[in-house]
Amino acid sequence: MRFATRATISALLAVPAFAHGNHGGLAAQYQNKPTAGAIPAPGRQWLPGDHHIHSQYSADYEANPASPQTAPIPLIGKDGRYSIVKNAEMARQFGLRWMVSTDHGGPNHSKLNYEQAWPEVNQARAAVPEMLIFYGMEFDTPAGDHSSLIIPFTGDEREQLRSIESGFSKREPWPADKAWDTEGRMIDALKLMRDQKAPPVLIANHPSRSAQAPYAWGLYTPAEFRNWNDTAPRVAIGMEGAPGHQAGAIKADGSPDPTGDRGGYGRAPTLGGFDQMTATLGGFWDSMLAEGRRWFITATSDSHANWRDGGNDFWPGEYAKTYVQARAEHADIVDGLRSGRIFVTTGDLVSEVDIIASSGGKQAGIGGTLTVRKGQTVAVTIRLRDPAAANAGGRTPSLARVDLITGPVAGPAVNRSTDRAPETRVAQRFTASEWQRNGEIITMTASLPAVTGPLYLRVRGTSTADLEPGTDPKGENPWDDLWFYANPIFVSVK
């Protein structure tokens, strides 16, 4: 293939916001700067968390019988079932270190969040002090589905969220107003967030759940995500790789539900529990990385009601975890999310993932950028922890295979609707005979010889024998089909 010029490559690897994302004279303020990524650092560790958790303040609504012309009445506890304190307690029980309370909206929901959810967030912080709790919401995204909005831990969280929700959440106005449900309004919302003193993080939730068929995109489209990322690359950082509602195929007694879908993905099923935008090799996620975009993936519970209570959900941390390399403080977790120091796993398949790309005495980890000279070799070391303890499903899964995936970084896509990166490939597959084990620690190495152009690399692994994640059938037990995915490392060539 033909690569971009040196100057263009340098710009692409430094900034995922291209020329059409015009921020005027303040452009540098909005860019993602290259970092070393998740390399060993004093005080930093892999902290598991969940950014998509509903409480009783994710309300259903009913008409006001006394005044049908006024806004509907919120019914507390009818959609999300549990208190924020309960969610924090269960997150702690299942090993999480951080969480975000994310209730979705409805008419005047900003008032409900401001007056009732916010005080309970602070009650949960006092009741479960070892849990780093963020205030946020599942944003009712204009021209889209839902997205997790994570407000940085400051003294202004309450006012900051109200300013966003009251001004832009598409279900906020009463009567409903179609003018609030346009992509232009979402771009305006992102500009507001981008320019706030402490910009939030926004992650698209269940991106393909509304698809009408596999790769027939629904409320979210590839072009839409590119527009978001251009407008506010340090706010719109990525998407749920593994959606919640993974217990949708489990009945309350623990038996399989033959009619249930993992994730609630009825028309475009998940692949190994992951959204098709993530799990398809050379698919949409790879098409974003092939542009040099810092577009990262996460995994969540989307907890509303636990499967034991007749719901479709696991508790936060019971099945899916998003690990961020960070110090145990709110600010560094947000920095880790923005910087892509993230890996995700289901079923506690792994609990540590360290990937180090090195060349010429330099190194970079997950989320980082390694700069090499043309023709140099890049060594890749993959170190994983395969925990010996049983997971929440009572099983002790083992890794069956680990894949090193690579693809060239070619610059901005000519077609902003593209969802394919045809040059992405599995560079090497590792099985137990090709790695070294020392107790829970598994180590393997690879080499990328004579690098001639910019590229990215990422790693995934599975408990299955599937070479590629397969379509999840109705009634599938999610504990039988476990995967982990690490976010990318970029390699720049000078």
* pLDDT exceeds 60 at position 223: yes
Q: What's the pLDDT band for 32 if we cut at 50, 70, 90?
A: confident
Establish if 300 belongs to a structural domain.
yes
DSSP label at residue 186:
H
Q: Report the domain count for the chain.
A: 1
Phi, psi torsion values for 348, nearest 5 degrees: 50, 40
pLDDT higher than threshold 80 for residue 19 = no
Looking at residue 480, what is its pLDDT? 97
Higher pLDDT, 176 or 4: 176
Query: In this model, does residue 434 exceed pLDDT 60?
Result: yes
What is the average pLDDT across 290-299?
Answer: 98
Within 8 A by CB and 6+ apart from 240, the residues are: 52, 148, 203, 204, 205, 206, 207, 275, 297, 298, 299, 300
Residue 83 within a domain: yes
| 158 pLDDT higher than 90 | yes
Mean pLDDT value across residues 478-482 = 98
Strands 378-385 and 352-359: what pairing?
Answer: antiparallel
Q: Give residue 109's region: left, alpha or beta (phi > 0; psi -120 to 50).
A: alpha
Name residues whose C-beta falls within 8 Å of residue 110's C-beta, 6 or more positions apart in sequence: 161, 162, 165, 166, 169, 172
| pLDDT band of 427, cuts 50, 70, 90 | very high
Q: What is the pLDDT of residue 30?
A: 59
> Residue 346: which of 206, 486, 482 has the closest Cα?
482
Whether the model clears a pTM of 0.85, i.e. scores above it, the answer is: yes
Residue 454 has which token pair? 């910019």
pLDDT over threshold 50, residue 313: yes
Question: What kind and span of H or E run contains 86?
Answer: helix 84-93
Query: Is the per-residue pLDDT at 389 higher than 80?
Result: yes
Virtual torsion, Cα 370, 18, 137, 274, nearest 10 deg:
-60
pLDDT of residue 2: 27
Mean pLDDT of 135-148: 98
Q: Domain containing 190 — which CATH number?
A: 3.20.20.140
3-state helix, strand, coil split of the chain in percent (to 5) is 25, 30, 50
pLDDT score at 17:
32
pLDDT at residue 301 in the model: 98
Q: Is 339 helix (H, G, I), strand (E, B) or coil?
A: helix
Distance CA 51, CA 321 (A): 10
Q: What is the pLDDT of residue 69?
A: 83
Residue 402 lies in a domain: yes
What is the residue range of 281's domain?
6-493
- How many whole angstroms separate alpha carbon 463 and alpha carbon 50? 22
Would residue 1 count as lying in a domain?
no
In a domain, residue 368? The reply is yes
Mean pLDDT of the residues in the chain = 93
Confidence at 34, pLDDT banded by 50, 70, 90: confident
Residue 345 banded pLDDT, cuts 50, 70, 90: very high
37 token code pair: 């990524």
Q: What is the DSSP letter of 353?
A: E
Place 29 in a pLDDT band, splitting at 50, 70 and 90.
low
Determine the Cα–Cα distance for residues 399 and 87; give it in Å rounded to an integer.
30
Decide which of 71 and 355 is more confident: 355
What is the token pair recorded at 17?
């916001």
Is residue 328 within 8 Å of 132, Cβ to Cβ?
yes
Whether residue 161 lies inside any domain: the answer is yes
**pLDDT of 7 strictly over 80:** no
Instruction: State the Rg of the chain over Cα.
Output: 22
- Looking at residue 321, its pLDDT comes to 99
Is 248's pLDDT higher than 60?
A: yes
At 68 the pLDDT is 80
Helix (H) / strand (E) containing 337? helix 330-339
Residue 410 maps to a domain: yes
- Say how far apart CA 383 and CA 143 lie, in whole Å: 41
